[in-house]
Amino acid sequence: MSLALFPLNTVLFPGCILDLQIFEARYLDMISRCMKQGSGFGVVCILEGQEVGQAPEGFALVGCEALIRDFQQQDNGLLGIRVEGARRFRVLHSELQRDQLTVAEVEWLDEVPEQPLQDEDEDLVALLQALAEHPMVAALNMGTAATGQQSLANQLAYLLPFSELDKLDLLELDDPQQRLDAIQVLLDELQGELFA
């Protein structure tokens, strides 16, 4: 499967919403193609390099497909798009086109079927509900009600202030219970730092 990549300084998770401003020709062309074909593009986290200008030297090999949900011209004249994370993928091979757009051969990662929330998930559900009240989170209209362990894990991993490398580790985990356990460990570390 061939997928155009949009390297960003962020990690997108399935079911999560990301707002982007598009102004570089390579990405305007990519968005136009995606909209005509009804297809998505891949968001990968930059490990080395910049978002703007030359294509970044290094990016994560696991990313998330982004599907365009809305678009509008911004007050500054730029194209604004809202995307939703869909399937996770692994980059098998990538090449840089003449227009500086990176296109990759990817394989889709298997998703574990949604598991019901457990009693021990209550604290994390309460945390997600608290996050949902923050104006910046509310503006994303993500519908932050967790429908199960997978959606709870994805939304928390996306919204909490973990490092991009920690978020990448979370994105690579297939099992939602493992992802929730890892989030709890990261939260405990964050709390330890706050009260150290």
Judge whether residue 19 has pLDDT over 90: yes
| Tens-place pLDDT, residues 29-39 | 999 999 999 99
pLDDT band at 53 (very low <50, low <70, confident <90, very high): low
Write down the mean pLDDT value for the chain. Answer: 91
8 A C-beta contact, residue 99 and residue 25: yes
How far is it, in rounded angstroms, from Cα 37 to Cα 51? 25
pLDDT band at 56 (very low <50, low <70, confident <90, very high): low
Provide the token pair at 9: 């300084």
The domain ranges of the chain are 2-108, 119-194
pLDDT score, position 144: 62
- 2-108 CATH pick, 1.10.287.110, 2.30.130.40, 2.60.40.3680, 3.20.20.140: 2.30.130.40
8 A C-beta contact, residue 157 and residue 48: no
Q: Where are the beta strands (DSSP E) in the chain?
A: 2-8, 17-22, 41-48, 58-59, 62-73, 79-96, 102-108
Same fold across 2-108 and 119-194: no
How far is it, in rounded angstroms, from Cα 39 to Cα 94? 19
pLDDT score, position 133: 87
pLDDT score, position 136: 84
Q: What is the pTM of this model?
A: 0.91
How far is it, in rounded angstroms, from Cα 149 to Cα 155? 10
Of the listed ranges 21-25, 47-51, 166-170, the one predicted with least confidence: 47-51
Q: In sequence order, what are the residues at sequence separation of 6 or more whose Cβ sits closer than 8 angstroms to the Cβ of residue 145?
A: 132
Closest CA to 83 of 34, 46, 50: 34
pLDDT band at 54 (very low <50, low <70, confident <90, very high): low
Judge whether residue 42 has pLDDT over 70: yes
In a 10 Å sphere around its CB, with 0-12 CB exposed, 13-18 middle and 19+ buried, how is residue 184 labelled? middle
| Tens-place pLDDT, residues 59-116 | 999 999 999 999 998 888 889 999 999 999 999 999 999 988 999 999 999 988 899 9
pLDDT score, position 146: 83
Closest CA to 4 of 25, 22, 23, 27: 27
What fold characterizes domain 119-194? Methane Monooxygenase Hydroxylase; Chain G, domain 1 (1.20.58)
| Tens-place pLDDT, residues 123-178 | 999 999 999 888 888 888 876 678 899 999 999 999 999 999 999 999 999 999 99
How far is it, in rounded angstroms, from Cα 64 to Cα 62? 7
Positive or negative torsion for Cα 54, 58, 61, 63: negative
